[in-house]
Amino acid sequence: MKPWKHFKTITHHRFLVMTGCFRVGLIWQGLTHDLSKYSPTEFWNGAKYYQGNRSPNAAEREDKSYSEAWMHHKGRNRHHYEYWTDMNLQTRSYESVAMPRKYLAEMVMDRIAACKTYQGKAYTDGAALAYFMKSRERELMHPVTKRQLEHILVMLRDNGEKQTFQYLRRQVLSGKPFPWETDAE
């Protein structure tokens, strides 16, 4: 039963992301979001560690001290900030890179869908922000991406999906500046 339940969970999650992406105009990203979750590496590890109330990657990590499925996933999906690391030629170390806006918008949809999937009826528009604020990822993310994401998640919490999705479509994806930016920057 775990493989079937896992399949239903990831398919439901993809449907929610696709719906959100379509609402902001990211048609191709909506259609192709998380297809790697159906690959053998991700699918069978996900099925093995399936619990239904959280990501199976966390359970795999607890069992093995790493998640093979997550390492496979983050390297193939540009809507994860972890994908956006590269060698800085000056420091000769790996550092985060600011995410392009279309992947930032897809990341927002991914976070909303994950919260809806795992929280069910307990979901609120503040759930993605609450998760983000308690996680360590804020320390690892590029400062520009972190500021943009937090701004959007606060807007989601305070104003809901309709206004936030309009903002993503009209402001973020059209390249208009965030409130703290100027046209000269």
Angle among Cα 138, 143, 145 to the nearest 5 degrees reads: 85
Residues 171, 83: Cα–Cα separation, whole Å: 24
- Name the residue among 104, 84, 103, 106 with its Cα closest to residue 95: 84
User: Which letter does DSSP use for residue 170 in this model?
Assistant: I
The pTM assigned to this predicted structure is: 0.94
Per-residue pLDDT of the chain (185 residues; tens, 9 = 90+): 899 999 999 999 999 999 999 999 999 999 999 999 999 999 999 999 999 899 999 999 999 999 999 999 999 999 999 999 999 999 999 999 999 999 999 999 999 999 999 999 999 999 999 999 999 999 999 999 999 999 999 999 999 999 999 999 999 999 999 999 975 54
Given a contact cutoff of 8 angstroms between Cβ atoms, the answer to whether 141 and 149 are in contact is: yes
Residue 113 to residues 32, 94, 142, 179, Cα–Cα distance (Å): 15, 30, 23, 26
What ranges do the domains of the chain cover?
2-172
Residues 141, 98: Cα–Cα separation, whole Å: 8
